Chain A
Amino acid sequence: MIERGKISIRQFMVLTLLFVIGDAIILAPSHVIISAKQDGWISAWIGVGEALLLAVMYSLLGKRFPQQTLVEYSEQVWGRWLGKGISFLFITYIFIDCALMTYEAGDFLTIHFLMGTPIEMTISLFLLVVVLATRLGIETIARTSELLYPWVWILFLILIVSLFPQVEMENFQPILAEGFSPILKGNVYFLANVLELVILLMIFPYVNQPGKARKPYVAGMVIGTSVLAVISMMTIAVLGATVASIQQYPTYILAKKISIGDFLERVEAIVAIMWLFTLFMKISICFYASTLGLAQLFRLNDYRPLTFPLGIIAVALSLVLIPNPAFFNYTHTIWFPYSATFALLLPVLTLVLSAVRKRWFPIKKGM
């Protein structure tokens, strides 16, 4: 095994939770609101139910191969070359996701905080930290997540509680004005974020009690998506669907609305800090998963030397993939089918095929 690190069940739960919140905390509200308008919160809560089902399915796959990552067992299930091909496409999916999120981080920082700083600089510095985290291994990433975890909760609670005076229930009306169709469309956008959780199948074998990764995984996913649903609800309740749908980052505008007794003002940085924490965790896990996957694909001795070259590629790729911010919004339309290929089609087919193989072509022990 290339990675010898082990993480505890609690750490895995924290990793999952921060991974779900990830970049979605800032994107999910705008995604559900753009198509479902004031009913966006319904889309989000449906998404929580779907997250539960997805988590159960992924953990079935994780349970079937408790010692291996997806890249390792797809070679067994699909045969050597087909398996390698599928793994390679899966790794590119993780890596593209990583590059897109890096762009988000750079874009957000240059728009709201470091105006005038070239985006190349913010992206490079952000990725440098990610590369260093990846070189230190999964244990360090997991411990970092435990360190950031309470802060994410504290900032989240501050955000929600201090927004309560601004809630206007009228913003939710009319409910179901255009039927269920827009809600389902919003739900598809929301789901595209949740589907990325398939990437954690690369971390499954490193939980120190194999076979017990299911509970923390399901819990992390459901709690994480609930956080997103609550934020979506708050965005609608405070900003209203019309204002929220024209914003690139509505959650950030939401925090700007906080104003308590002319005293507590301009605390939007709490959203930025919370988002940078969760985004850092998500990018780190994605970068780690793609580096480890690549090393396992080529059966290398160590994944660590690959981190710096892949880091350079990620910086350049994020700028190549997204030539301008308008194009970035455009990519959201294809993100669901692209994610679904690897997060729905691939796990289902792998599960079915591995069951068929086990039934009719038993695999030798130890493989």
Chain B
Amino acid sequence: MKTSTSSPRVWTVAETPVAELEHVCFSYDGERVLDEVSLRIARGDFLGIIGPNGAGKTTLLRIVLGLLRPSCGHVRLFGTDVAQFRDWQRVAYIPQKAVAFEARFPASVFEVVMSGRVRLAGLGRRFAAPDYEAARRALETVGMLPFRDRLIGQLSSGQQQRVLIARALVSHPDLLVLDEPTVGVDADAQEQFYSLLHRLNREMGTTLVLVSHDIGVISQEVTQLACLNRTLVFHGSPEEAMRSGALAEMYRAQSWMVAHRH
């Protein structure tokens, strides 16, 4: 369990950032997808990353999660270089729903949530009472406890998304990374989803990194905004983004954001 969230947090300049990127670049087949991206994510931040298709948003997430090795630069998680980082239970990832699993996968909601607890329970060990309790609580947090025995594929997209959040929460992560989590989720469920994120961030102190194309919602919810287009175009609070004209610039330049606003 985390102790940091129960006591009032003291902010110091020296506090180790949750994640730190220094001059990170990445190339696919010789083509630069990310160029010189430097970014600091402090504890308790809710960072929204926006940018057009092909801006390198997902690549950036995958680098932070250690799934891709940057071509140059450094990435540190909780002060440790990502290549040496072993404390992965502090990090959880919510992928785009569509790529997460097959619709016909024969898993119950409870089994899916428990799968987020595998590393924490220990390799080759059986789940114990605290694991089941954590899964029950995580399902309660996202309001899906009554569905625990349902087949995951039979739920609506919004419900599946909540189950994937529960799977991420079950290890009590300090950093939660979300990649376009509301794609294919209806408006009502989206609203519930964002209020859940709000609670996780403000009440439980979880640091959130969210990639989204939905600039309207994102700029209302997040505390920090990063505009990415191969390089980091802007990083700061949403208000600053508004003032500096970075948001307006992105709106004007890209029809992709308008297309997604209904």
User: Do A and B assemble together?
Assistant: no
